[in-house]
């Protein structure tokens, strides 16, 4: 892929212009990539919504599950994807960011032995991730992103960083935490942006990760499991907030901890 004259060029890339846009970015902008999920059934549905004038919404890029990419606005023009938003000292992130939408159903509900989206589609267990959202404390079910989508987001963010003054890669959930859940815990946002924005640090951490010896439960309650997996059987009742633990081992984002018992917990809730 490459960017020429503010448009993405490459295999699987096409353009469908959206009327839902403002003027050009100010000098030195954009400096942020903002990642979303569509919460819809497919790429075509998302493109139809984001190019409909009555929706008052748009984005620069939509990425389908099979790798199809649709560009809706050139990268020098402001699109309408952030809405009411704030991060650090800045508000109104449309004026700072390139919006990337990923075809994904978002949060799912488990019922009748299946997993269902808000629009009624059933998803197989292999397409489901059970995880706790960064802004919540309870495990929920989420539609998994395809490996192709994740790889394309990575490649596109690298390209945008090389072309523009990109300093931040954020999720909609981080700039609008009281309104939005996207892209959610099924998307490896923290890992992706750290690898792109801090490549030297990420490499060093991969070679010799530091594991704390002790920690304290930071969630309101934290499940402790027999194995480092959200589907694993619980080892005991959840650990309450403030529980001190000894950290014995780390694996794939989990810590094996010891209080009066041993089990596996999600490492991001240990401080």
Model confidence over 1-35: pLDDT tens digits?
999 999 999 999 999 999 999 999 999 999 999 99
- DSSP tag of 121: -
Cα distance between residue 49 and residue 43, in whole Å: 10
Q: 179 and 42 in contact (C-beta within 8 Å)?
A: no
Strands (E), 206-268: 214-216, 221-222, 239-240, 244-251, 254-258, 262-266
Q: Positive or negative CA dihedral for 111, 114, 117, 121?
A: negative
For residue 38, pLDDT over 90 is answered with: yes
Confidence of residue 39 (pLDDT cuts 50, 70, 90): very high
> What's the mean per-residue pLDDT of the chain?
90
Residue 63 — φ and ψ, nearest 5°?
-115, 120
Cα distance between residue 181 and residue 38, in whole Å: 11
- DSSP tag of 218: -
**3-state DSSP assignment of residue 165:** coil
Average pLDDT of the segment spanning 97-107: 98
Cα distance between residue 247 and residue 244, in whole Å: 10
Alpha-carbon separation of residue 72 from 28, 95, 197 (angstroms)? 22, 16, 25
Looking at residue 202, what is its pLDDT? Answer: 47
Name the more confident of 79 and 212. Answer: 79
For residue 218, pLDDT over 80 is answered with: no
Alpha-carbon separation of residue 68 from 43, 47, 153 (angstroms)? 8, 12, 12
Out of 42-46, 162-166, 208-212, 225-229, pick the least confident: 208-212
Cα–Cα nearest to 149, from 102, 82, 204: 102
Average pLDDT of the segment spanning 144-154: 96
Structure token digits, residue 196 = 């792109």
Confidence of residue 206 (pLDDT cuts 50, 70, 90): very low
Q: How far is CA 236 from the centre of its chain?
A: 30
For residue 227, pLDDT over 50 is answered with: yes
Average pLDDT of the segment spanning 212-230: 77
Q: Positive or negative CA dihedral for 148, 149, 150, 156?
A: positive
Cα distance between residue 82 and residue 80, in whole Å: 6
């Amino acid at each position: 892929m490459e960017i020429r004259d503010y448009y993405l060029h490459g295999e699987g890339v096409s353009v469908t212009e959206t009327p839902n846009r403002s003027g050009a970015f100010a000098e030195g902008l954009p400096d942020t990539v903002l990642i979303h999920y569509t919460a819809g059934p497919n790429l075509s549905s998302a493109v139809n919504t984001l190019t409909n004038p009555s929706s008052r919404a748009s984005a620069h890029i939509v990425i389908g599950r099979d790798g199809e990419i649709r560009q809706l606005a050139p990268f020098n023009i402001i699109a309408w994807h952030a809405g009411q938003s704030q991060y650090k000292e800045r508000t109104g992130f449309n004026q700072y960011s390139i919006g990337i939408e990923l075809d994904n159903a978002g949060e799912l509900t488990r019922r009748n032995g299946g997993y269902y989206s808000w629009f009624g589609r059933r998803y197989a267990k292999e397409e489901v991730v059970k995880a706790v959202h960064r802004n919540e404390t309870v495990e929920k079910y989420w539609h998994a992103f395809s490996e192709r989508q994740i790889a394309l987001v990575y490649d596109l963010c690298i390209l945008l960083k090389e072309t523009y003054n990109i300093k931040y890669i954020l999720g909609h959930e981080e700039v609008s935490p009281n309104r939005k859940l996207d892209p959610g815990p099924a998307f490896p946002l923290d890992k992706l942006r750290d690898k792109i924005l801090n490549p030297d640090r990420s490499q060093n951490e991969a070679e010799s990760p530091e594991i704390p010896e002790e920690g304290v439960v930071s969630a309101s309650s934290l499940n402790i499991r027999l194995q480092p997996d959200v589907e694993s059987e619980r080892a005991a009742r959840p650990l309450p907030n403030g529980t001190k633990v000894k950290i014995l081992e780390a694996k794939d984002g989990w810590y094996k901890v010891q209080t009066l018992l041993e089990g596996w917990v999600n490492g991001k809730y240990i401080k």
